[in-house]
A and B are shown apart, each in its own frame.
Chain A
Amino acid sequence: DTGVSQDPRHKITKRGQNVTFRCDPISEHNRLYWYRQTLGQGPEFLTYFQNEAQLEKSRLLSDRFSAERPKGSFSTLEIQRTEQGDSAMYLCASSLGSTAGAGNSPLHFGNGTRLTVT
């Protein structure tokens, strides 16, 4: 069973450095989501792709954040000039989209990348 895979699992970086995370979704899934989760909270939506098109970005996604899904398969999330407030778990999820909307398409999450900015 090849679920959603995220790499790396953990990343420790110094403030001001750039970091990049990778997500490999379930192969037949056309939708890919990035969420951020801080300790003890629920995940917060960052951005969403349908195939290679980035269709929505949260206001949480400042100009230091960029996400790509160039071939409609894997995705990368880059954070430039990291800040301590960026420390969080970054979760990727994928789904097989339908016309019924996100609420009817269960998300399959990866195990996340835990970022610590020192």
Chain B
Amino acid sequence: TQLLEQSPQFLSIQEGENLTVYCNSSSVFSSLQWYRQEPGEGPVLLVTVVTGGEVKKLKRLTFQFGDARKDSSLHITAAQPGDTGLYLCAGGSNFGNEKLTFGTGTRLTIIP
């Protein structure tokens, strides 16, 4: 069974601070996706990384896929209240199945 652990589980910081969220597994994934989910809504895709060591930037968000494709990180610079939400990583596999395995989630609160 592939498991994705995210840390921290909860994070509350002041507006303007930087933060990093981690997504770790003992399994190798063919790709890693990050989603953000707001209360009462479904997750919305932020980014997909597919190559070990890959780094992608989306405005103030920086995503990195580990060299061994077992872990990923999300770094937010100068956090804003609009960044508040549940951040989910999800791993994809090419090993004969089509499902994504989601992480345990990080609930981020940015205090104005």
Q: What is A's interface to B at a CB cutoff of 8 Å?
A: 4, 31, 33, 35, 40-45, 48, 50, 55-56, 58, 91, 93, 97, 100-112
Cβ of B61 to closest chain A Cβ, rounded Å? 16
B30, B31, B98, B103 pick with most chain A CB within 10 angstroms: B98
User: In the complex, what distance in Å separates the CA atom of A102 from the CA atom of B98?
Assistant: 4
A55, A102, A109 pick with most chain B CB within 10 angstroms: A102
B100 touches A103 (CB 8 A): yes
B44 touches A103 (CB 8 A): no
User: In the complex, what distance in Å separates the CA atom of A33 from the CA atom of B40?
Assistant: 19
A100 touches B42 (CB 8 A): no
Chain B interface size, under 10 / 10 to 19 / 20 to 34 / 35 or more: 20 to 34
- Which of B31, B41, B93 interacts with A111 by CB under 8 Å? B41
The number of A-B residue pairs with CB atoms under 8 Å apart is 85
Cβ of A26 to closest chain B Cβ, rounded Å? 13
Cβ of B42 to closest chain A Cβ, rounded Å? 3
B63 beta carbon closer than 8 Å to chain A:
no
Q: What is B's interface to A at a CB cutoff of 8 Å?
A: 4, 6, 29-33, 40-45, 48, 50, 88, 90-94, 97-105, 107
Known: A33-B99, A104-B31, A104-B48. A110 touches B93 (CB 8 A): no
- Which of B30, B40, B99, B101 interacts with A56 by CB under 8 Å? B99
CB neighbours of B50 from chain A (8 A): 103-104
A111 touches B98 (CB 8 A): no
CB neighbours of A109 from chain B (8 A): 42-44
B98 touches A56 (CB 8 A): yes
CB neighbours of B30 from chain A (8 A): 101, 103-104
A91, A103, A107 pick with most chain B CB within 10 angstroms: A103
B102 nearest CB neighbor, chain A only: A42
- Nearest 4 pairs of A and B residues by beta carbon: A103-B92, A109-B42, A103-B31, A42-B102
